[in-house]
Amino acid sequence: MSQAEGQQHPIKIYLWIWLLLFVLSTFSYLVDYYHLQGYLRWSLIIVFMLLKAGFIVAIFMHMAWERLALKFAILLPPLCLLILIGFMAVEGDYTFFTRGAAFLH
C-alpha cells in the first residue's frame, strides 16, 4: 500500500470542510431566497455547486491524496459528458424552434 493503513488525516480537516459545505449551501439557498435572476443567479449557482462538489471529492472522498493514475482514471472520463450536454442543448434548442414554427403556421 502507498499509505501505512488507508487514508489517515486529522479529524480537524473534516470538520472544516463540513463547516465550509454548510456555508456554501447557505449561500446557494440565499441565491434563491433573494430572487437573484439571470446570469448572476446561474453563475453563482454553478460556482457554489462546483466548489461543494470539489471539496466533497477531494477531501471527503480522499481524491486529493490518491495517486495521479487513479485521479486520471476516474476524473477524466466524465469530461465526455460535456459533449453529451452540448449536443443535447443544441437538440433542445432546435426542438423548441421547430415547435414554435409549427405553432405559427
Partner 1 sequence: MAHDAAADAALSPLQQVAGDFSADKNAFSVPWGKAMMWIFLLSDTFIFTCFLTSYMNVRMSTTTPWPFPSEVFALHMFGQDIPLILIAIMTFVLITSSGTMAMAVNYGYRRHKRNTVLLMVATAALGATFVSMQAFEWTKLIMEGARPWENPWGAPQFGSAFFMITGFHGLHVSAGVIYLLVVANRVRKGFYDKRGSYEMVEIAGLYWHFVDLVWVFIFAFFYLW
Site residues (vs partner 1, CB under 8 A): 1-2, 5-9, 11, 14-15, 17-18, 21-22, 25, 28-29, 31-33, 35, 41-42, 45-46, 48-49, 52-53, 56-57, 59-62, 66-70, 72-74, 77-78, 81, 84-85, 88-89, 91-93, 95-96, 99-100, 103
Instruction: Decide if 45 contacts 31 (C-beta within 8 A).
Output: yes
Tell me if 7 sits within 8 A of 62, measured CB to CB: yes
Q: Smallest gap, in angstroms, from Cβ of residue 6 to partner 1?
A: 5
Where do the H-state alpha helices sit in 1-105? 11-33, 38-55, 68-75, 80-104
Q: To the nearest whole angstrom, how small is the minimum distance from the Cβ of residue 47 to partner 1? A: 10
Report the nearest approach of partner 1 to the CB of residue 52 (Å): 5
In the complex, the smallest distance separating the C-beta of residue 105 from partner 1, rounded to whole angstroms, is 14
Cα separation, 33 vs 24, in Å, equals: 14
> In the complex with partner 1, which residue's Cβ is closer, 46 or 105?
46
